[in-house]
Amino acid sequence: MDPRALRRFRKNKGALAGLVLVLTVTTLGVAGPWLAPHDPNRQFRDTLVLADGLPAGPGSVPGHLLGGDPLGRDELSRLMYGARVSMTVAYAATALAVLIGVLVGLVSGYLGGLVDGALMRFVDVVLSMPFLLLAIAMQRVWSAPGLWVLCLVLGVLSWTTLARVTRAKTLEARNHDYVAAARALGYPHRRVLLRHVLPNVAGPIIAIATIMVAQMILAESALSFLGLGVRPPTASWGSMLSEAGGLVLGMPRLVVYPSIFIAAAVFGFNLFGEGLRDALDPKE
Amino acid sequence: MIGFIARRTGWALFATLCVIVVVFALMFVAGDPAATTLGPHASREAIHDFQVREGLDQPILAQLASYLGVGRCVRKNAKGYTRPDGSRGFCGLLEGDFGVSYSAREPVANVIARRVPRTLVLSGMAMLFELLIGVTAGIIAAFRRHTWTDTGIMFGTFVGISLPTYVTGPLALMFFAFLLGWFPVGGYGVGAWEHIRHALLPALILAVTGAATYARVMRSDLIDTLRDDHVRTARAKGLGPMAVLFRHGVRNALLPTVTLIGLSLPFLVGGAIITEKIFAWPGLGLLTLEAINNLDAPMVMAVVVMFAIMVQIGNLLADVAVAMLDPRVRG
């Protein structure tokens, strides 16, 4: 990274806070299953379900820091496993979207002409697909969808912005002398694109991809909230929210915990992404 | 210019057609609507009758052609939904016929016509809140730039963008409706005034993200505008800071916001699925969710078609507006 960009980034307190949040939730996603004190699907009927059938509150039972969920499962462990689901889906779907978007954008911007026209019309078509609706419908097609179906659906439906931005940046880069020089040296298109154009359009792509991770976290938990994403008993922040929805009056904490995790993750990626954008592409 | 509009309209129609084909195919592979609609205890004959009546025993291409209205109608005539002469001619979209809902057993168009006004009440109020809150916050932030007010508002918009409705919704329901009793606990109410009263809280929740977005756009555009020469001239003329801000700054900076409003039009009609679910608001969003869960293909298709057309109209208007301002785009 350009040292000036790095300096700009380091001076941005918000972006640094975002980075800390991003690292925290990512670590939680990777290491959550090892950090979690219990099996997220094990029901502690003797200790976490009280005599009146309600789950034990936070701190009241030793070894269960945040208490139990309505089915007597350890809340903290479920939150940590939920981080793995959210992070897996968010990163994988974003990676897929970046792969498609950058490829389409590079080819479109570099080759121009008919190819460009056709690809951009294709982008228009994908853009007019109703995102949530299609995601729901595709979830319905696979009656017991795995995580990978979810990633596939989200990735395939959200690469269009990246394609447009990459194309615009490629058009800009194409006219620079270093690209002309590389071409004059007789390098094949692939090498010119990957070695000379791509590094120079990478900045905005990285920033957009970071913010996209936040949107993917939102999309995954939205689908799981609607009961159309990750299926029970797998823990996900969205499905935990929907399970707690009916109990919001009696046990608001069951809504508050997953909400905090979702908000913190999304907030972190948004802040970090904005910081990256400001650092890599200074307007002022 | 006319050639440009014609070309873009052609592409918009093509894109809409693509969306229809994709979703139609998806609904086709999603499962057997007969079994879902009639329930687990339906007899084999009943299921067969259903499939014949709705043309589900026909090949998918015949069904698609029938749905679009470019091929013979595969739906058996049921009383009330036939053409006046009782013939089995065309019966699809081109005839303005959205079909008959499997689960509601009445024309899709009627069901949608009932739901659209409800969704418009909710989304319309949400948009009002978005603009009122968002634009005001954006103006204040730009005017008080580099102060704690500005930092606070910008932090607030970040929180707003990061909080989805399924987080804010249940919490607001608990706090403002259950505990404080300021708002009804959900539903739709009876009578116009009750509708509005019931829509207040869901509309506010729905407006959070939009308001945050408008505030950010408004702030950055207003800051840019306030650097322009005509603003400096106005200041030099001796106009007061408020007059400069509103007459010369806000008026010009509102343009991108107006474009954003145009692009958000489709979501005004179709985009409130989650909020409607949380607050049990019986609009199009809830209808869509039910239709998908029931595999009610005609209903799902109708919503998708409406959404796709709205998106295309929005994009078309935006493109035409840009082309009018910038001749290079027409190409």
Among B171, B273, B277, the residue with its CB nearest the CB of A255 is B171
Q: Helix axis angle, A131-141 relative to A198-225, nearest 10°?
A: 70
CB pairs under 8 A between A and B: 117
What's the pLDDT tens digit per position in A33-89? 888 777 777 777 676 676 666 777 776 767 777 777 777 788 888 888 888 888 999
Tell me the pLDDT band of B271, cut-offs 50, 70 and 90: low
Segment B317-323 mean pLDDT:
71
Q: Is the pLDDT of residue A22 over 80?
A: yes
Confidence of residue A93 (pLDDT cuts 50, 70, 90): very high
- The whole-angstrom distance between residue B146's C-alpha and the CA centroid of its chain comes to 36
CA distance B276 to B205: 11
pLDDT band at B56 (very low <50, low <70, confident <90, very high): confident
User: b or e along B144-174 (b: 16 or more beta carbons within 10 Å of the residue's beta carbon)?
Assistant: eeeeeebeebbeebbebbbbbbbbbbbbbbb
**pLDDT at residue A144 greater than cutoff 70:** no
Provide the Cα torsion B56, B94, A133, B37; round to 10°: -30
Residues of A in contact with B164 (CB under 8 A): 218, 221-222, 262, 266
CB–CB contact B174 A249 (8 Å): yes
Under 8 Å between Cβ of B102 and B54: yes
Q: How far apart are CA A215 and CA A193, in angstroms?
A: 28
Structure tokens at A217: 């976290």
CA-to-CA distance for A196 and A179, rounded, in angstroms? 6
The answer to whether the peptide bond before residue A233 is cis (omega within 30 degrees of 0) is yes
Of B11, B26, B289, the CB nearest to A141: B26
Rounded to whole angstroms, the Cα distance separating B277 from B287 reads 10
Contacts of B278 in chain A (CB under 8 A): 245
Residues B25 and B46: their CA atoms lie apart, in Å, by 24
CA A32, CA A254: separation in Å to the nearest integer? 19
Tokens representing B140?
A: 């204040």
Per-residue pLDDT, A23: 92
Residue in B with minimal Cα distance to A122: B15
Beta bridge partners of A68: A74
Q: Say how far apart CA B167 and CA B129 lie, in whole Å.
A: 19
Condensed to tens digits (0 to 9), the pLDDT of residues B71-130 reads 777 776 544 444 545 555 667 788 778 888 888 888 888 888 888 888 888 888 998 998
Please name the residue of chain B whose CA is at the shortest distance from the CA of residue A251: B174
Q: Alpha-carbon distance A107 to A110, whole Å?
A: 5
Of A128, A238, A266, the CB nearest to B16: A128
> Contact B164/A121, CB-based, under 8 Å?
no
Taking an 8 Å cut-off on Cβ atoms, the answer to whether A248 and B274 are in contact is no
pLDDT over 90 percentage in chain B: 1
∠ Cα B1 B4 B9 (to 5°): 130
Say yes or no to pLDDT of B33 above 90: no
Mean pLDDT of A128-145: 69
For residue B144, the 8-state DSSP code is T
Residue count of chain B, please give it: 331
Please say whether the dihedral angle defined by the alpha carbons of residues B27, B28, B31 and B35, taken in this order, is positive or negative.
positive
Q: Is B233 on the interface with A (CB under 8 A)?
A: no
Q: Which of A256-260, B184-188, B224-228, B322-326 has the lowest mean pLDDT?
A: B322-326
Query: From CA B331, how far away is CA B235, in angstroms rounded?
Result: 40
What single-letter DSSP state applies at residue B173? I
Domains of chain B: 2-107 (no CATH), 109-330 (1.10.3720.10)
Judging by beta carbons within 10 Å of its beta carbon (0-12, 13-18, 19+), is residue A131 exposed, middle or buried? middle
H or E stretch at B216: helix B192-226
Domain segments of chain A: what residues? 3-31+79-280
Average pLDDT value over all residues in chain B: 80
Residue B133: predicted pLDDT? 92
**CA gap A66, A176 in Å, rounded:** 57
Instruction: Note the pLDDT of residue A98.
Output: 94
**Who has greater pLDDT, B25 or A139?**
B25
Residue of B nearest to A18 (CA): B158
Instruction: For chain A, positions 25-54, list CB contacts with chain B under 8 A.
Output: none
Overall CATH class of domain A3-31+79-280: mainly alpha
SS3 B100: strand
pLDDT at B134 over 60: yes
Q: Which residues contact A41 (CB under 8 A, 6 or more apart)?
A: A73, A233, A235
**Which among A125, A255, A266 is the nearest to B170, CB-wise?**
A255
pLDDT at A284: 42
B14, B159, B164: residue with CB nearest A218: B164
Q: Specify whether the CB–CB gap between B275 and B281 falls below 8 A.
A: yes
pLDDT band at A91 (very low <50, low <70, confident <90, very high): very high
Q: How confident is the model at residue A140, as a pLDDT?
A: 67
Q: Cα separation of A263 and A217, whole Å?
A: 10
